[in-house]
Amino acid sequence: MQGRTTAARRAATPVSTTEVGGPLMASHGIVVNYPSTSSPAVPSIPASAYVIANANTGQVLAADDPHGKFGPASTMKVLTAITLIPRLNPNAMVLASQQAADTEPNDAGLIAGRKYKVSDLFTALLTISANDAAVALTQATGSFSKGMALINAEAHHLQAYDVVAKQPNGLPAAGQVESAYDEALIARQALAIPAFMKYDETLSAPFEIKPHDWETLNNQNWLLTQYPGGIGGKIGWTISSEATYIGLARRHGVTLIVTIMHCTALQEITSAVKLLNWGFAMNGKVKPVGVLVPPLATVTAAHHGKGARSVPASLAAQTSGSGSQPVYAIAGGILLAAALAGGALVIGRRRLAAARHRQLSARAAPPADSRAARHAGALSSRWSRLARTRSRPRWNSRRRSAWT
């Protein structure tokens, strides 16, 4: 049947408003328009939500519960990065606070009272998913609360209305959520920032914790080396969020974005590969089920007396004292901010460390057997810190995915 649409719906709270990206983006199940009955089906993956979209055109090729709200885990770091990269001088030095130094697990080992280069912190943020680097960079805006306000404002600027950011690193926080659709908007913006792509595609880089104490930052995202056309992405995982992933790939001038939420652990990148393969095969053949909306209009504003910069019009309206909120028409509908689901996220550090050590082995050389490395996950966080201090370069390569 021409124009066949699949909508395998799960039991969920009905959506009462028109969703950003088009009416089909309100679906709580799989939506895809096949050109014919013989078309290859979109792959089944062990995740609660996903989006596969063409970054060039903005067309959403297929989706599953695109506006469903889930914990983002470390994919939140992409939003943090695209917000702060344009605002921070890459050559500036940032003084690590006690809050940043105490952030665990999976940190770069920042030492309170020492200064670190902004560009090095962004590299740590996007290669090894350094949670302490996220805090240090956020505080570099002037304060942690100011940085978080900027991050949430950037989400609004991108029309990523499902986002509620509480922690810049994506570590669990009550009420912190993102959607697969909003992560696709964030990923599309990341593609437009050359500095982000440079940090994100770095395979390995040195990082100086203190004078004469160096570690090697090894990128966790094996899509970069194992998938033809892989150009970037971000891995995430916590117990409650399960695995999350943003993947970016380009072939023959076509750039695809895949975002995955609440996926079975260790399956997020292989699931992304399946969706990317389908997307490249069906791009231009399937009728899009939605569109990645563009960012809101920006206005020019003075920035600390050093010239002008572009800021979201909505943010400018807020700072000028306007109490009204603009309404934007997309795909023939009125955009309304979606209600954000809350709930505390529960962390089990020992179980989490074990799973992520297994995942690191799988990512390093998929699909090689990683059983020999699994015992490493049982090490306590105290031993992790001690071992990192005594033998940092060798140990870091084994511990990096403990909690992304």
Question: pLDDT above 90 covers what percent of the chain?
Answer: 68
Query: Between these two residues, 341 and 116, which has the higher pLDDT value?
Result: 116
Quick check: is 38 in a domain? no
Quick check: is 232 in a domain? yes
Quick check: is 355 in a domain? no
Structure confidence by residue, pLDDT tens digits, 356-375: 434 443 443 343 333 233 33
Tell me how far CA of residue 305 lies from CA of 114, 309, 362, in angstroms. Answer: 29, 11, 50
Residue 163: give the domain boundaries: 73-287+341-345
Tokens (6 digits) for 58 = 């903005």
State whether the Cα torsion 379-381-386-392 is positive or negative: positive
Quick check: is 185 in a domain? yes
Question: Looking at the 3D structure of the chain, how many domains does it have?
Answer: 1
Placement of tokens 């986002």 in the chain: 163
Quick check: is 155 in a domain? yes
106 pLDDT band, cuts 50/70/90, is confident
Quick check: is 9 in a domain? no
Which residues belong to the active site? 74, 77, 129
Strand partners, 5: 33
Confidence at residue 138, expressed as pLDDT on a 0 to 100 scale? 98
Look up residue 233 and give its amino acid. G
User: CA-to-CA distance for 12 and 9, rounded, in angstroms?
Assistant: 8
7 pLDDT band, cuts 50/70/90, is very low
Burial 181-204 (b: 16+ CB within 10 A, else e): bbbbbbbbbbbeeeebbbbbbbee
Residue partners of 69: CB distance under 8 A and separation at least 6: 162, 177, 178, 179, 338, 340, 341
Placement of tokens 């117990």 in the chain: 239
**Helix axes of 349-364 and 392-399: crossing angle, nearest 10 degrees:** 100
Query: Between these two residues, 44 and 104, which has the higher pLDDT value?
Result: 44
Chain mean position to CA 265? 16
Structure confidence by residue, pLDDT tens digits, 54-72: 999 999 999 999 999 999 9
10 pLDDT band, cuts 50/70/90, is very low
Quick check: is 327 in a domain? no
First to last CA, the chain: 43
pLDDT at 221 over 70: yes
Confidence at residue 339, expressed as pLDDT on a 0 to 100 scale? 33
pLDDT at 152 over 70: yes
* pTM as predicted: 0.76
pLDDT at 206 over 60: yes
Quick check: is 373 in a domain? no
Half-sphere exposure of 314 (CA within 13 A, CB side): 16
Confidence at residue 111, expressed as pLDDT on a 0 to 100 scale? 97
pLDDT at 302 over 70: no
CATH code at position 184: 3.40.710.10
On average, the pLDDT of the chain sits at 79
For residues 281-291, average pLDDT: 97
User: CA-to-CA distance for 96 and 116, rounded, in angstroms?
Assistant: 7
Confidence at residue 293, expressed as pLDDT on a 0 to 100 scale? 97
